[in-house]
Amino acid sequence: FYDKLEVLRDFLAKSQGKARDARDLEAGVSWLLWMLGFSVAHLGGTDKTQNAPDLIAATPRGNFAAIECTTGLLKAENKLALLVDRTEALRRRLEASGNRHLHVLPVIVTSKAREEVKADLEQAEKLGIVVLTRESLEEALKRTLVLPDAEALFAEGEAAQAAQAKYQSAALPFAGA
């Protein structure tokens, strides 16, 4: 079954930076997340929803991931700042609807290898954004062979996001001064 996912694997490997490649990557990530047990809304494919995340994925318990996809660098076209803004907008909507208890995880997906985006990783981490690279996508494809567990994947993303705390504590003044 894994070897037969050629179209999906092709979509996830898009890295030319062309608009069509970016749309294919969004579709591929959407399909992959669905296969992993998430409910996914693909918002990035239309002009009327360009101010929303490319994808919103929900776990069975109702937690959300706001996802931006790129075939380029993470900071290109202000993607990191836009993702933070869109994630906060989603959080505000959840709070306004009485769902403050639900978590929202910002995620940026790139078809580039981790080595190619290493210059942007620290900034993403400081912002609390989970970064998925080509290697992450390949690993996720392998996980489709077992029973999907969106909750476990979401928890892994939250654990990765916890790295943001080291930057926040570093900004605090020394208590003994």
List pLDDT tens digits, range 6-32. Answer: 778 788 876 655 666 788 899 999 999
SS3 144: coil
Distance CA 87, CA 104 (A): 7
Position 175 scores a pLDDT of: 43
Position 159 scores a pLDDT of: 84
Position 17 scores a pLDDT of: 57
Paired tokens of 57: 């994925």
Give the strand pairing for 55-58 and 64-70.
Answer: antiparallel
Residue-wise pLDDT tens digits, 24-67: 899 999 999 999 999 999 987 667 667 789 999 999 999 999 99
Question: 168 versus 2: which is more confidently predicted?
Answer: 168
Strand partners, 160: none
User: Taking a C-beta distance cutoff of 8 angstroms, is the pair 124, 73 a contact?
Assistant: no
Residue-wise pLDDT tens digits, 99-148: 999 999 999 999 999 999 999 999 999 999 999 999 999 999 888 888 78
Q: What share of the chain is helix, strand, coil (3-state, %, to 5)?
A: 55, 15, 35
- Which strands make up the sheet holding 39-42, listed edge to edge? 39-42, 55-58, 64-70, 104-110, 130-132
